């Protein structure tokens, strides 16, 4: 296992650019426990200063045209591309995700791709009535200052999902990254600020207290939040007094249903990455898989064979495609849930046996078969590399089990018959239902949760509208 497979000069330079003269705290590599760098400890006073600066900068930014603001978004994408390898290395060291596979380099690439896509969308005023007597149209005006609060699993990409549409619509942004992954987001903000006009984007590196203060802040007009359902509910409460607009992308426990006509060999790799992308630490990952009796053993065998080919280890080792859990708390969640599955008599196909003496938060790739639908590994969000595979006998039962939870971010249907898969998809209670894939997001396609997975849409023109205040002009 090596931690020095790249030159490391770029990521060190990024760290030196975000070094703070004030109080700092260590951030450690989840694979080794070694210190990656030190994060500033920002306070409520720092937050107030950031909000004031963002408010001061907002009118001039809003006065630019969409085309001018899109030009800045494209220049921001250029700046990310110029620093891509250094950003990916810092992300890998801090978050734990490997450079290769759908991981750190992929995430940094998605940041520039999302900026460019968001720059390219057209948002014209909508004429809703034009009958000779009345002409009514809907415009989307800037909201003001957007507060963005993010999680630790895809820290850079999710920050860009919040920043890009906010800026495009003429808002300025105060962003609070997760306390687990502040360095990646501070570095990203620093790179963006090399090309953005001064005062538009502020990264405040604080804990939950700063998130709470941001959600209640009188100088913030909207909160873009991605994280757990419990925190989303807290944000609804703390934002109530100021009636802030909210986009809430919350937790999920996505079901996938394999239909009887699916080809186990053909779908195995897609199922694997649907579940294990980012070592399972993904909001819209496949977290419960429902398989019919007739294909059950074949799907279990095919998935086990794919899992055996996917190396897990330190992120800077170019061979690895799976990494550690980002933090011990999440490792403990996965260990508890797999423990509950084992205690119930479920069959562990692979994994489930972390090495207690190994450094870091590595939990092996785990597949669990013959598990009941009410087992905690099925009913709770594991957010890690452990997939329960539940047997079903008739499709109605599978649909009922898939819809049985109070969350509904994504879902998937796996079949050789696209029309039949679409019929089943229509019965699933989820914001997105993928066919023969899971979790594939696209900057042009709206994304958001059903039920307690949140509300509001991100991406595409729908996402831009969420960062504007609708204004009707009627005459």
Query: Is the Cβ of residue 207 or residue 354 nearer to ligand NAD in the bound state?
Result: 207
Q: Using the rule CB under 6 A, is 259 a contact of ligand NAD?
A: no
Which positions from 433 to 472 touch ligand NAD by CB under 6 A, shown as an x/- string?
Answer: ----------------x----x------------------
Query: Is the Cβ of residue 276 or residue 383 nearer to ligand NAD in the bound state?
Result: 383
Distance between alpha carbon 258 and the CA centroid of its chain, in Å? 25
* Cβ(186)–Cβ(38) below 8 Å: no
Is position 283 annotated as part of the catalytic site? yes
Structure tokens at 419: 């029309």
DSSP-assigned beta bridge partners for residue 434? 412
* Cβ(320)–Cβ(173) below 8 Å: no
- Residue 295: CA atoms inside 13 Å, Cβ hemisphere, count? 25
Query: Is the Cβ of residue 274 or residue 313 nearer to ligand NAD in the bound state?
Result: 274
> Residues in the chain, how many?
475
Q: Minimum distance from CB of 17 to ligand NAD (Å)? A: 22
Return d(Cα 150, Cα 217) in angstroms, integer.
Answer: 17
Q: Using the rule CB under 6 A, is 211 a contact of ligand NAD?
A: yes
Q: Token pair 């790739």 is at which residue?
A: 365
Query: Is the Cβ of residue 178 or residue 375 nearer to ligand NAD in the bound state?
Result: 178
Q: Using the rule CB under 6 A, is 331 a contact of ligand NAD?
A: no
The angle at the Cα of 77, spanning 71 to 82, to the nearest 5 degrees, equals: 125
Q: Using the rule CB under 6 A, is 228 a contact of ligand NAD?
A: yes
Q: Minimum distance from CB of 474 to ligand NAD (Å)? A: 36
* Cβ(422)–Cβ(435) below 8 Å: yes
Q: Minimum distance from CB of 441 to ligand NAD (Å)? A: 9
Q: Using the rule CB under 6 A, is 250 a contact of ligand NAD?
A: yes
* Among 208, 134, 11, CA closest to 474: 134
Q: Minimum distance from CB of 453 to ligand NAD (Å)? A: 6
Q: Of 68-76, 250-258, 264-272, 317-325, which part binds ligand NAD (CB under 6 A)?
A: 250-258
Among residues 165, 251, 384, 463, which is the contact residue for ligand NAD, using CB under 6 A?
251
Structure tokens at 5: 């497979």
* Among 166, 196, 192, CA closest to 81: 192
Residue among 107, 179, 283, 458 flagged as catalytic: 283
Query: Is the Cβ of residue 149 or residue 398 nearer to ligand NAD in the bound state?
Result: 149
Return d(Cα 29, Cα 96) in angstroms, integer.
Answer: 7
Q: Using the rule CB under 6 A, is 283 a contact of ligand NAD?
A: yes
Which positions from 345 to 384 touch ligand NAD by CB under 6 A, shown as an x/- string?
Answer: ------------------------------------x-x-
Q: Using the rule CB under 6 A, is 275 a contact of ligand NAD?
A: no
Structure tokens at 48: 């107030």
Phi, psi of 409 (to 5 degrees): -80, -70
DSSP annotation of 295:
G
H or E element at residue 137: strand 135-142
Phi-psi region of 256 (alpha: psi -120 to 50; beta: other; left: phi over 0): beta
Is position 249 annotated as part of the catalytic site? yes
Q: Return residues touching ligand NAD (CB under 6 A).
A: 149-153, 158, 176, 178-179, 207-208, 211-212, 215, 226-228, 231, 234-235, 249-252, 283, 381, 383, 409, 449, 454
Provide the annotated active-site residues: 249, 283
């Amino acid at each position: 296992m090596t931690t020095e497979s790249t030159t490391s000069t770029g990521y060190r330079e990024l760290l030196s650019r975000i070094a703070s003269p004030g109080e700092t705290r260590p951030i450690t590599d989840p694979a080794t426990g070694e210190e990656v760098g030190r994060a500033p400890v920002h306070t409520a006073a720092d937050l107030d200063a950031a909000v004031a600066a963002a408010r001061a900068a907002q009118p001039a930014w809003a006065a630019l045209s969409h085309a001018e603001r899109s030009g800045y978004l494209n220049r921001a994408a250029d700046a990310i591309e110029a620093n891509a390898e250094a950003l990916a290395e810092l992300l890998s060291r801090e978050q734990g995700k490997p450079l290769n596979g759908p991981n750190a380099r992929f995430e940094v690439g998605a940041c520039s791709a999302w900026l460019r896509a968001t720059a390219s969308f057209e948002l014209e005023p909508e004429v809703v009535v034009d009958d000779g007597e009345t002409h009514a149209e809907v415009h989307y005006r800037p909201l003001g200052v957007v507060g963005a609060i993010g999680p630790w699993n895809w820290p850079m990409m999710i920050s860009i999902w919040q920043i890009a549409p906010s800026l495009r619509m003429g808002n300025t942004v105060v962003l609070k990254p997760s306390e687990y992954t502040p360095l990646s987001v501070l570095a990203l903000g620093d790179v963006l600020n090399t090309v953005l006009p001064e005062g538009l984007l502020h990264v405040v590196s604080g804990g939950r207290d700063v998130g709470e203060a941001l959600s209640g802040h009188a100088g913030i007009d909207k909160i873009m939040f991605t994280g757990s359902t419990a925190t989303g509910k807290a944000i609804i409460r703390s934002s109530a007094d100021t009636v802030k607009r909210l986009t809430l992308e919350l937790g999920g426990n996505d079901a996938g249903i394999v239909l009887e006509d699916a080809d186990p060999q053909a779908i195995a790799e897609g199922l694997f990455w649907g579940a294990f992308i980012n070592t399972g630490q993904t909001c819209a990952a496949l977290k419960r898989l429902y398989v019919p009796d007739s294909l059950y053993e074949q799907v279990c065998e095919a998935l086990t064979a794919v899992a055996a080919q996917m190396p897990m280890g330190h992120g800077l080792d170019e061979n690895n495609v799976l990494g550690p859990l980002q933090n011990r708390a999440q490792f403990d969640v996965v260990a508890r849930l797999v423990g509950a599955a084992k205690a119930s008599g479920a069959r562990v196909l692979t994994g489930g046996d972390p090495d207690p003496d190994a450094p870091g938060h590595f939990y092996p790739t785990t597949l669990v078969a013959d598990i009941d639908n009410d087992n905690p590994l099925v009913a709770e969000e594991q957010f890690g590399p452990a997939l329960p595979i539940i047997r079903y006998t008739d499709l109605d039962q599978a649909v009922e089990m898939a819809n049985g939870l109070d969350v509904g971010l994504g879902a998937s249907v796996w079949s050789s018959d696209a029309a039949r898969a679409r019929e089943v998809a229509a019965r699933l209670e989820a914001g997105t239902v993928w066919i023969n894939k899971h979790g594939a997001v696209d900057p042009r396609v709206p994304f958001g949760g059903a039920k307690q997975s949140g509300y509001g849409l991100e991406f595409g023109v729908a996402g831009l509208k969420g960062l504007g205040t609708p204004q009707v002009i009627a005459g």
